[in-house]
A and B are shown apart, each in its own frame.
Chain A
Amino acid sequence: MSYRLSPIDTQYFAPDHEGDDFTVIGSVVTRSDALGHVTGRTEFFEDVRPSGLLHLKMHRSTRHHARLAGVDSSAALAVPGVVRVLTGADIPNNLYTPLKLINVEPDDEPILAVDKVRYLGEPIVAVVAETEAAALAGAAAVRVDYVDLPPVFDVEEALADGAPIVNEYHGKNYFTYEGHHCRRVRLGDVDAGFAEADHVFEWRYQSSPIEQAPVETTGCTVVPQPDGRLRIHSDTQACFFTLDNTALILESDFNKLRIVGGTVGGGFGGKVDVVVEPVACVAAMVTGRPVKFVYGRHEEMQVSSPRAAERIYIKDGVLADGRIVARQVTAYIDAGAYSRHTPYGTTKAAAHFPGPYTIPNVRIDCHCVYTNRTPSSAMRGFGVTIGDFALESQMDRIARELGMDPLRLRLKNAYRDGDMKAHRKRAEGTALIEVMQKAAELVGHELPDEYRRMSSLEAR
């Protein structure tokens, strides 16, 4: 067995390693899925091929924002092999939001659009057919009459007066956090910090949506059981989360559903949404036959939730010696047309700012903004990845402005055990200083003694 192995440097936290005595922990055992993956024998959900399997494909919105004036599925039903079409009227509880399981409100997204569409690619009619080709032909044959509405695509334009309302269930283009228009974090007095500072720097950062890009696209196969239950073979990242949401949408007893999963061809957050199972279950219930609904690559890239685009403004008050005394972060996170998991990710962003630095005065405003684009949702580093791009670009810019070594600027401000974070949790188990010291050593970046002697364990 050949593999890459990073050395473990135990010098930095040597006392923590006294008494280490493990037989299995820390050893390189063969990973349990390796042989199956490299020999092509691992069974994924698509390897379940029950007899009589039907295929579901979606007719999707061709508009960014429009009223539905008419939906005509007659041509789809005339396609040979098409068995059934489904509209919003066929879904027992057509309105949901996945985080209702943890009391996030309101329900704001239809399984199949009724009355209006809010993004390009929104599902309107599900077509169920004997073959994948017939389902695709049927989906293409659905006729929809639209009355276009003005769309809004930019997060700050969406928050401006007079912007078109994207999602009527919210009534405004942002998620409301206990009466506030954003998730806020407050520590100290930021304005006093700016007044005290020798320099005030403010810069803007922007990201674009990013696809999770799993090799295996999102999908499921639903198999009706003789006892009336539904067995759902799924590549979900969260079996019970999917089961509970699906049961609520189906208005079904929870024990009528069974999720079989656990082997996933890459997730990266994209398979935390519950977007294929509910409609595939309805199709299986109304036809009494197994139904498969799997995204094509185009759907995976343009219709399934991407990593949210974010716009972040950071304003810092900095002393001449490099200490940051005030930081204000204003973030706009583009949820797209529906909440999905973005209200949660926005709170995660708020908890992450102002980064791993101890700053006495902090003001954070993180907005979860609705626009007429594909809903964004979870992706690896949700709420943090883009924030880190902004934070660490900001640190580099400050160092350049002050003519300081960028590592020394960070070491000077790095949080340590016992420091109070902006969200009022005491820092513990910190090691930011040590990873920088080690990195400096790796690349031959010389640090003066006082920086090499710094420790996360010693109070500043």
Chain B
Amino acid sequence: MTRLRGRGYAAVNYPTGMNLGGDPSQALIHATTTGTFVVSLSSVDLGQGLKTVVAQCAAETLGLPFTNILVDTADTDTGPHCMGTFASRGTHRVGNAVIMAATEARAIMLDVAAEELEVDAADLETDGTGYIQVRGAEAKRIHITDLALAAHFTHGRTISGRGVFMKEKSEVVPETGEMDPDSCQAHACTVAEVEVDDETGVVEVLRMYSVYEIGRALHPAMATQQVEGGAWMGMSHALFEATEPYYPVRDHGPADFSEYLMPAAGDIPEQVSVLLERPAPTGPYGAKGIGEMTANAPIPAIANAIFDACGVRLDHMPFTPERVLRALDSLRGQDLSAHG
């Protein structure tokens, strides 16, 4: 028995959004009497953090603290339209719609503040802690709570905004495939280091290095979770998962998590990840969508590392111990199946 080590590389890109049917999302935002801003959406948070990042976008645009933002989603009676959460579109589309809505609301907020402070709105700025103040004369200021009360009860104004992002439908030219199907591309390179046991066929992933260029990391910890959680999922796709393990035969389909194998805590490799940022002009504060792509590069990186380790080329996912052993036997000029 020998444990053979190898290293494999993979580099990928991934599109943000896909607009073959037109791709809109809308957002509404309004201030309550006490200066909390409610972002109304029908967008779905799958646990990836959409509600958190769109609240960040609203807070940044308004120039207010994150805690001044509430996100109300997803109810089709109260939230404006959203296509849905798929195609790595949520942060990009909904983030842009929220920024547009918040930009409109900010202009009204500064306008009302200008009336309250009896100054020119163009001279006002936000300090990020809740105050709207005169640039260069910061003592002249008003807190958003007082301002929102004044808007409601003195000025009869609504501090609100409407936002929409829409990428128009791209028709595919049938003959050539010419199309404009996405808004931008994110990039990744994964390096996997594996150890292959040539007696059991078990592949252990020792380390994964991930470098992602994602436009801008709106929330670097959640971006890290996507990168490292996705690497786990890609590793799982590479080595463990299949609803039909002997595809195209339908037999032996797993029915629950005791039969459908996935890596457990002990299987998770050491991970080293780095983010690069090349802000996308179309993205909310430059962000690109990375919701989906993080499972992709690990799969070929592991396939290539297995080859580097033991010289077998696995071209059928998943790379189960059975497939590794059969490939090793074939490499040695033996065919297990021929010998029963």
Contact = CB atoms under 8 A, between A and B. Distances in A.
Interface of A: 3-10, 12-13, 16-17, 22-29, 31-33, 37, 64, 99, 101-103, 120, 153-155, 177-180, 183-187, 203-211, 213, 236-241, 243, 257-269, 272, 297-298, 301-302, 306, 309, 334, 344, 347-348, 350-352, 355-356, 364, 371, 373-374, 378, 380-382, 384-386, 388-393, 395-397, 400, 406-407, 410, 414-415, 422-425, 427-432, 434-436, 438-439, 442-443, 445
Contacts, number: 412
Contacts of A185: 176-177
A406 B304 contact: yes
Contact of B174 (A28, A31, A177): A177
A99 B21 contact: yes
A388 B296 contact: yes
Contacts of B262: 213
B85 A237 contact: yes
B265 interface: no
Contacts of B224: 3-6
Interface string B117-137: 000000000001000000000
Contacts of B275: 6-9
Given A8-B220, A206-B317, A347-B172, A352 B15 contact: yes
A209 B315 contact: no
24 contacts: A32-B71, A37-B47, A185-B177, A237-B44, A237-B46, A238-B82, A238-B83, A239-B79, A240-B81, A262-B45, A334-B248, A344-B18, A348-B18, A348-B181, A356-B12, A373-B248, A382-B292, A384-B15, A397-B313, A415-B13, A423-B179, A436-B11, A438-B276, A442-B191
Given A24-B66, A209-B247, A397-B313, A102 B21 contact: yes
Contacts of B257: 213, 297
A439 B102 CA distance: 38
A442 B212 CA distance: 13
Interface of B: 7-15, 18, 20-22, 42-47, 49, 51-52, 55-57, 59-60, 63, 65-66, 71, 73-77, 79, 81-87, 128, 169, 172, 174-182, 184-185, 187-191, 209-213, 215-225, 227-228, 233, 237, 241-245, 247-250, 253-257, 260, 262, 272-281, 285-286, 288, 291-293, 295-297, 299-301, 303-304, 307, 313, 315-318
A177 to B, nearest CB: 6
Contact of A28 (B75, B220, B260): B220
A238 B317 contact: no
A260 B285 contact: no
Given A154-B248, A209-B247, A434 B51 contact: no
Instruction: Provide the main secondary structure of the chain B interface.
Output: loop
Nearest to B304: A396
A435 B211 contact: yes
B22 A210 contact: no
B299 A389 contact: yes
B47 A396 contact: no
B213 to A, nearest CB: 4
B86 A4 contact: no
B242 A262 contact: no
B11 A356 contact: yes
B11 A380 contact: no
A203 B222 CA distance: 38
B126 to A, nearest CB: 9
Contacts of B12: 355-356, 388, 391-392
B179 A64 contact: no
A262 B277 contact: no
3 tightest Cβ-Cβ pairs between the two chains A and B: A238-B84, A102-B21, A262-B74
A185 B172 CA distance: 10
Q: Most B CB atoms within 10 A — which of A6, A184, A390? A: A6
Contacts of B272: 442
A103 B101 CA distance: 30
A29 B153 CA distance: 33
B77 to A, nearest CB: 5
A442 B208 CA distance: 11
A258 B76 contact: yes
B7 A443 contact: yes
Contacts of A392: 9-12, 297, 300-301, 303-304
Contacts of B169: 102
Nearest to A13: B278
Nearest to A265: B47
B46 A26 contact: no
A9 B188 CA distance: 14
A380 B295 contact: yes
A393 B297 CA distance: 10
Q: Most B CB atoms within 10 A — which of A259, A262, A391? A: A262
Given A28-B221, A205-B315, A397-B313, A430 B304 contact: no
B262 to A, nearest CB: 7
Nearest to A155: B248
A211 B187 contact: no
Contacts of B179: 347, 351, 423-425
A213 B307 contact: no
B46 A264 contact: yes
B241 A210 contact: yes
Contacts of A423: 177-179, 181
B86 A210 contact: no
Q: Most A CB atoms within 10 A — which of B8, B249, B262, B278? A: B278
A198 to B, nearest CB: 22
Contact of A3 (B209, B221, B292): B221
Given A347-B172, A397-B313, A431-B278, A29 B220 contact: no
A438 B211 contact: yes
A6 B274 contact: yes
Nearest to B21: A102
Contacts of B52: 29, 31-33
B276 A439 contact: no
B49 to A, nearest CB: 5
Contact of B296 (A179, A265, A268, A384): A384
A334 B249 CA distance: 13
Contacts of A264: 44-47
Contact of A386 (B59, B189, B274, B317): B317
B295 A209 contact: no
A421 B317 CA distance: 28
Contact of B76 (A5, A22, A243): A243
Contacts of A393: 300, 303-304, 313, 315
A4 B22 contact: no
A195 B219 CA distance: 50
A31 B273 contact: no
Contacts of A407: 9
Contact of A8 (B13, B277, B280): B277
Contacts of B249: 153
